[in-house]
């Protein structure tokens, strides 16, 4: 009986393998992910994460700061998984404050959950391809006056926003699970250089010029 259990366990463990740049016939999105040169790759159990340098944006004539996060998520193995959503979780000391609606301030909040991607199921399997995912979002400071009234300085806000978790909600064999990957941004959060506005991606330009925030979520391409 023990021998049979041992053999069965070994078989389950060998049902999937690690994905690497050398894996045969990987889709283009994974190739893009592997070729992304970021400061660090953050390793989880079923997923790995890369992060572009976060950016602090102060829109024209606005009482708000935005932090732009641009992350890439890749499956770690050939397990068949369904990704439901990706969420950025700020440091605990900021989480309750940022989740509150404290009107008014001259800014624009994302609709719904300001930390979570749109809920779109993406199948990662041999049949559909083990795709890498991309998520861009803007998290605001809930209005600068409100923030200062709560005793939070802009410097403290930036320090706290440099320590986040990425939560990946997914299903494995119909069981819904969450994976949390902690990220500490060693370089901190950079200020947008307004002398070179037009050199930034269009979503950054729209946030700065029009105080308009847009999320991007889907397969990396």
The secondary structure of 135-160 as a DSSP string is EEEEEE-S-HHHHHHTT--HHHHHHH
The confidence score (pLDDT) of residue 10 equals: 35
The confidence score (pLDDT) of residue 1 equals: 41
* Count of CB atoms situated within 10 Å of the CB of 41: 14
Contacts of 170 by beta carbon, 8 Å cutoff, 6+ apart = 46, 47, 81, 82, 83, 84, 176, 177, 178, 179
Decide: 71 and 135 in contact? Cβ < 8 Å.
Answer: yes
Predicted TM-score (pTM) of the model is: 0.87
pLDDT one digit per residue (tens) for the chain, 221 residues? 433 333 333 333 457 899 999 988 889 999 999 999 988 899 999 999 999 999 999 999 888 999 999 999 999 999 999 999 999 988 877 888 887 766 556 666 655 677 889 889 999 998 788 999 999 999 989 888 889 988 999 999 999 999 999 999 999 999 999 999 999 988 889 999 999 999 999 999 999 998 888 889 999 98
Measured distance CA(66)–CA(211) in Å, rounded: 9
Decide: 70 and 114 in contact? Cβ < 8 Å.
Answer: no
Per-residue DSSP letter, 218: E
Measured distance CA(206)–CA(96) in Å, rounded: 28
Report the DSSP pairing between strands 47-51 and 175-184.
unpaired
Report the DSSP pairing between strands 55-57 and 190-191.
parallel
Give the containing element (helix H, strand E) for 74: strand 66-75
């Amino acid at each position: 009986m023990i021998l049979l259990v041992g053999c069965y366990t070994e078989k389950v463990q060998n049902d999937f393998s690690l994905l690497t740049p050398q894996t045969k016939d990987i889709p283009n999105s994974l190739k893009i992910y592997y070729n992304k040169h970021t400061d660090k790759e953050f390793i989880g159990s079923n997923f790995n994460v890369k992060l572009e340098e976060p950016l602090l944006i102060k829109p024209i004539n606005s009482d708000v700061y935005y932090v732009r996060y641009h992350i890439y998520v890749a499956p770690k193995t050939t397990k068949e998984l369904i990704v439901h959503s990706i969420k950025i979780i700020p440091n605990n000391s900021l989480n309750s404050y940022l989740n509150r609606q404290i009107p008014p301030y001259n800014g624009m909040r994302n609709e719904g959950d300001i930390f979570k991607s749109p809920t779109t199921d993406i199948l990662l399997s041999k049949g559909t391809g083990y795709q890498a995912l991309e998520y861009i979002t803007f998290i605001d400071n809930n209005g600068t006056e409100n923030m200062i009234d709560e005793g939070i300085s802009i410097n403290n806000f930036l320090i706290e926003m440099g320590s986040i978790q990425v939560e990946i909600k997914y299903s494995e064999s119909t069981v819904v699970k969450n994976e949390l990957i902690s990220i500490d941004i060693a370089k901190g959060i950079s200020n947008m250089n307004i002398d070179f506005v037009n050199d930034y991606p269009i979503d950054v330009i729209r946030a700065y010029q029009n105080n308009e925030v847009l999320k991007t979520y889907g397969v990396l391409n």
